[in-house]
Amino acid sequence: MSWRTVVITQHAKLSYSGRMMIVQTDSKIHSIPIEDISVLMIATTQAVITSALVAKLSQNQSKIIFVDNHYLPVSETCCYYSSSRTLESLRKQFGWDEYRKENLWTHIVAGKISNQTSVIESLGIDTEDLEKEADKLEFGDATNREAVVARKYFELLFGSGFKRRSDDEEECVNAALNYGYSIILSSFSRAIVANGCLTHIGIHHSNNQNEYNLASDLMEPFRPIIDLYVAVQNFTEFSRSIRMSLINLLNQEIQLNGQKMRISTAIEKHVSNCIRFLNGDLDNIEIEVDFTDEVQSYEINGHV
């Protein structure tokens, strides 16, 4: 399985030769095995890429992400599905049992709220209000506790005047959150495709303009990882070092269901477990993500 995230931040030509990605800058030439590349992020408008490289990365099911002048991802390649996308796998996805979908969504929301509570607790802030809301969670989140908790959670995390906005590119905290979420979303969509499923068909999200509804669903318990990292940095500028650290955060180790692994690996296992549950191959689903100690000890300077 590919594992490396490659980020291009300066003037460069990207090409393909001999099963390698060739990165030619003004001063150096780098060679990286295609099979190692999970994500290629082109974080500059001063880079060119050949169609041969795009084709080879696509064959490897590698994501290519492009950013805008605010350094926020604006598009990514969507590869044709691998041979794992059989007619049978699509029949299973379109036939997912409604009860199982509601059951999984309940576990996802419970996991997200639990992780949000852990984030607040790790920062020494009282969690009683969030815990009360968690106790009100019903099957399928019929009373929308996810949204209620989110409003209270972000004010506890970033102050009473903070407003969470997905379209805010100027305010540095929202910009960092958006950037981190987009990195995780891309990893989730890649894992979903690797499991032979369509990213468009979600279990809760159903926006006709969102090509990643299923990824948006499954990633929810992992969002607080980004939240905690952004909160503890206490930065005033959305700098290059912050962006690079958010990308490299995928290589940080956490615990998923009691097992220690990289975040990138945890995403793959979590997606696989969720799809197996929806397909009826698993009777029960477990979503326990433990990350507060690891993320708080993650240093910017050691990962740039």
Binding residues: 146, 205, 220
Residue 18 CA to residue 35 CA, distance in Å, equals 12
What are the pLDDT tens digits along the chain (304 aa)?
677 889 998 999 999 999 999 999 999 999 999 999 988 999 888 999 999 999 999 999 898 999 887 777 888 887 765 555 567 888 899 999 999 999 999 999 999 999 999 999 999 999 999 999 999 999 999 999 999 999 999 999 999 889 888 776 668 999 999 999 999 999 999 899 888 898 999 999 988 878 899 999 999 999 999 999 999 988 888 888 899 999 989 989 999 999 999 999 999 999 999 999 999 999 999 999 999 888 877 754 433 3
Domain ranges in the chain with CATH number 1.20.120.920: 87-303
Question: 4-76 has which CATH code?
Answer: 3.100.10.20
Q: Is-contact 250 5, C-beta < 8 A?
A: yes
User: Nearest-5° angle of CA 71, CA 8, CA 10?
Assistant: 85
- From-to residues of CATH 3.100.10.20 in the chain: 4-76
Pairing of strands 20-24, 12-17: antiparallel
The rounded radius of gyration (Å) of the Cα atoms in the chain is 19
Closest to 134 (Cα-Cα) out of 157, 156, 154, 150: 150
- 87-303, what's its fold? Four Helix Bundle (Hemerythrin (Met), subunit A) (1.20.120)
Q: Binding site membership for Mn(2+): which residues?
A: 146, 205, 220
